[in-house]
């Protein structure tokens, strides 16, 4: 990666790097990952846990935040990867983006269904911060786009998302939320390793 692109990446990461912070939302904090990554399209409010029509117990705020972040993160991965299919000329990037779309569409569907079962209204798009990041990607083209897509949507977001899902797989209070996190974690780790390998290949 040349000096100009490195500087661009640093500035981009500094300005929009709330992804990983967002993905590691703690109880009572506003939701943010990637992976990590960031999550509803214009909402800045945490999802409110609520009893569902069957009267099941409410989710804790932390479990509700996790579900919201997970859904928004998958929407961000899908939108960013759809953009990559439009803009990249790299077959490696296209292959990675196609996998992200397929896997994260399924993850968003499963997490949204669970959220509805638990009485939540699932977000239908990325968070405001993720929308900003995707919008910034739209301004790039060629190698600069590929490098930023792989670095941000691929590596950085998945680092945050893996951490978030790992935490939920061990500490979620709701057993269904814990099971969802545990099921998705191996695939997310696979995404991260693929993104890191692709990132290293681009930098050579």
Check residue 184 and give its pLDDT: 98
Helix, strand, coil proportions of the chain in percent (round to 5)?
70, 0, 30
pLDDT category at 16 given cuts 50, 70, 90 is very low
Instruction: Report the alpha-carbon distance of residue 186 to residue 193 in Å, rounded.
Output: 11
Q: What is the pLDDT of residues 106-156, one digit of tens each?
A: 999 999 999 999 999 999 999 999 999 999 999 999 999 999 999 999 999
Interval 69-97 mean pLDDT: 97
Tokens encoding 86: 């439009």
Residue 51 clears pLDDT 60, i.e. is over it: no
Residue 45 clears pLDDT 50, i.e. is over it: no
In degrees to the nearest 10, what's the CA dihedral of 78, 82, 85, 90? Answer: -40
Residue 53 clears pLDDT 80, i.e. is over it: no
Check residue 200 and give its pLDDT: 93
Average pLDDT, the chain: 81
Check residue 20 and give its pLDDT: 40
Q: Percent of the chain having pLDDT more than 70? A: 72
Please, what sign has the CA dihedral across residues 155, 160, 162, 165? negative
What count of other Cβ atoms lies within 10 Å of the Cβ of residue 182?
Answer: 15
Which carries the bigger pLDDT value, residue 128 or residue 39? Answer: 128
What count of other Cβ atoms lies within 10 Å of the Cβ of residue 5?
Answer: 16
Check residue 88 and give its pLDDT: 96
Check residue 6 and give its pLDDT: 42
Q: Is 200 exposed, middle or buried (0-12, 13-18, 19+ CB in 10 A)?
A: exposed
* Residue in 17, 18, 42 with CA at minimum distance from that of residue 32: 18
At 60, give phi and psi (nearest 5°).
-65, 160
Tokens encoding 105: 């569409």
């Amino acid at each position: 990666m040349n000096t100009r692109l490195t500087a661009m990446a640093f500035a981009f990461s500094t300005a929009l790097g709330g992804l990983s912070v967002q993905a590691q939302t703690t109880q009572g904090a506003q939701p943010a990952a990637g992976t990590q990554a960031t999550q509803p399209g214009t909402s800045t409010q945490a999802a409110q846990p609520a009893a569902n029509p069957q009267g099941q117990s409410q989710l804790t705020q932390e479990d509700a935040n996790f579900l919201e972040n997970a859904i928004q993160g998958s929407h961000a991965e899908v939108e960013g990867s759809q953009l990559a299919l439009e803009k990249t000329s790299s077959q490696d990037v296209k292959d990675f983006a196609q996998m992200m779309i397929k896997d994260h569409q399924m993850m968003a569907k499963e997490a949204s269904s669970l959220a509805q079962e638990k009485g939540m209204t699932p977000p239908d798009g990325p968070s405001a911060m993720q929308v900003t990041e995707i919008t910034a990607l739209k301004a790039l083209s060629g190698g600069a786009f590929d490098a930023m897509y792989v670095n941000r949507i691929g590596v950085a977001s998945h680092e945050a998302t893996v951490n978030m899902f790992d935490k939920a797989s061990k500490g979620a209070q709701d057993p269904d939320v814990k099971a969802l996190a545990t099921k998705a974690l191996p695939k997310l780790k696979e995404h991260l390793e693929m993104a890191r390998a692709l990132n290293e290949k681009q930098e050579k």
